Structure 1
Amino acid sequence: MKNLKLPIIIFVIVFVISTAAFIFFINRDSEKNITDKVDAPSWIHENGSSGRLPISAKVVNQPVTTQQNATANNTSTTSNANNNALSKSLNIKKNKTSNLAAKVTKIKDSIITNLFLENLAGYVADNYQPTNSLPYNPAHGYSSASFKGINTYFGLNLMGLMPEADNIISARKSIWKNILSQGMLSKEYEKYHESFMDLIEEKGITAEKKFALGEGRSEVRSFTAKERAEMFSVSAAPLRHVAAVLTSIAENPDIIQAMDGYIKAEKRVESANAVFQSELAKSNYSQSVVAKNKASHAGKILKDAITVREKIKAGISNKIKSFCTGPCDTPEDSFYIAKWVFRRAKGNQSRIESILSGSKLLSKLANQMEIRAEAIRNNM
């Protein structure tokens, strides 16, 4: 044990001296001025060394030796090359991402889609009723397509119309805002009308309907070439009707102004009916003379409101027919179209002009259908 005392004493002395020296140097370095700032090394990309992360214009000052400068100079060329390659790679990836995002945005912003055209062509073929087809068994082929029918068909679930919207109501607004913007209808027509005609013909080839054979017999078969030609001819008729009605409305602002009066009369009927239903319920509950008189009076007010509303409606339908230069012989459908125009336009002259442009395109499409029908007949 005595032999170990001397080495232990020496070790303790050395340890104390080393610790004291270590603390001294730390205190000396901590007193250095670190507020001086220098520019970042030149090889760092101005947008960050990775090409994406921002950098500070200044960094904390540290002693730079001659050897460090030499090392920095020797490695600057390599660093520049590496960063240029990295930047180029990142730019390529960024461009690819941007192109992909642009394509996604284009799909989202597109109102007319291939699915919509497929469904629209299917609607045309489905509403063609050939001679002797069931369940109607008509003597002559016709199209049951209508403005109201097609508006309902696509208005409930859009059926391939694809705007970027949160719900069905905002989607409809988005659709008509885009379609009725200046020049949009003409642009979409020129882009899609040929492929749309081809899709209709394709639907006519693949379609099948049940036909009556007489004596309670029937058969399911596809359309003949003659029937496909007829499908195009009769499908042009509803287009001409809608085009004529739209033209008469768009060219005569009095009709739209009268529709404003109809909407007010319609609201008055709704209000009068609510009062009548309330008074009628009270009358049935109390059975008093006063309550019955109030119900009778409310019923008279409702009847008068309905009379005024129907007079305005008839007046609008008659005015459309008087201005119409085409097939406008279905007043109910004509009035529905007028109401639709009022809701979409509401005095917006730009939209009214777009609707007038649309009516001309419908006439043009009807002509294209007649031409396609003739082409099918010539190839029979």
Structure 2
Amino acid sequence: MRKFFLRNQLCIPVKGYNRAIIYDILRKDYFFISKAHFYILDTDDFIDFNKIEDEEERQSLIDFLINEEIVFELADQNQKQCFTALNRKLEVPNKITNIVLHTNVDLNFFDCIKEEYILNLSIIAPQVDDNLFKVLKRIDTLEIDSVYLYIENFDHDALEDHRKRLSDHNLVFSVNFFNSKNSIEKTELYQNVYFNYFDEEFTVYKRKLTIDKLGINTEHFLEAYNFHSYYFGKVYIDSDGNIKNGLNNTLSFGQVKSISSVQFLNLISSDQFQELGNIQKDSMLVCCDCEFRYMCVDSRVPVKGIDKWYHPIECAYNPYLSKWDDEVDYLDLNHCGVTISASGCFIDKEQLSQKFNSIWSA
């Protein structure tokens, strides 16, 4: 008797170069699967598990998928009409979703966004001081979902006082301290505010993608699937007041001190400002081969090549070896036979296969 299986539409298979991942965007989890199993699960129709010839492998996969509620069985094939495919389009209410700025920002800038609805506002501060609290007081009445603080220099002796004062501001969602090597806790919840402590300097943190920066949820997936998950909707005001679209970008689109509200909104709506945000990861070299591409937030500045965008600076994850740069046996792209340039991606498959097998066959 034939069984009818459908995939949970909130569990999305994503193919990488060596392996695939099932993104569970509702429960914020993920599961690695083989590429062979990806091709079976990548359908909105009934799943044909009979493509797996080995009975033990087939049943093991079915049991795993049902146990994790990734697939479910229908009593009757006509029930399929009750289940619709996930709409992967993303619509946002305005051009700005994320703003990053420093505590020395001209406070008149907030007049430019007072009518806007902002999802996230990030504030970079050298330390917890009066300048930071002036900014927090100024934004208390704005339409902002969450405020994230990035404090470059951690003062352990003043921590208790800082936690109390910062948590008094209702918009603050998380406070991230850097250079906090004496801190025992890495994350703690205090008065509904998350306090996170990082050993490294902020200048290092902001440039490097790490596995703990991967995020899985419905909003993030839809954004990354349709746009660039870092640059889309982002505005950065650097410490000199330059308007940019990312922390690591050098191109300035103007000065915040000499711009009106109308000029600012026209600027960030321009095709030039929006260009990086409209890049899809599937149109970017290396990223298009990465199984993590819809869950990462990559702040590297992309460059337009002949056919696709690419990054002159290499990522911390090598999808051709399935290795992070802090793992044993990691190799960069060049040493495993992959060359990236404006003209495209060249893979020496023999060299790559040799390196991959030597790492994973042990």
TM-score range, shorter chain: under 0.3
Q: Highest relative contact order (Cα 8 Å, sep 6+), 1 or 2?
A: 1
More helix by share: 1
Report the structure number with the largest CA radius of gyration: 1
More strand by share: 2
TM-score (norm 2): 0.20
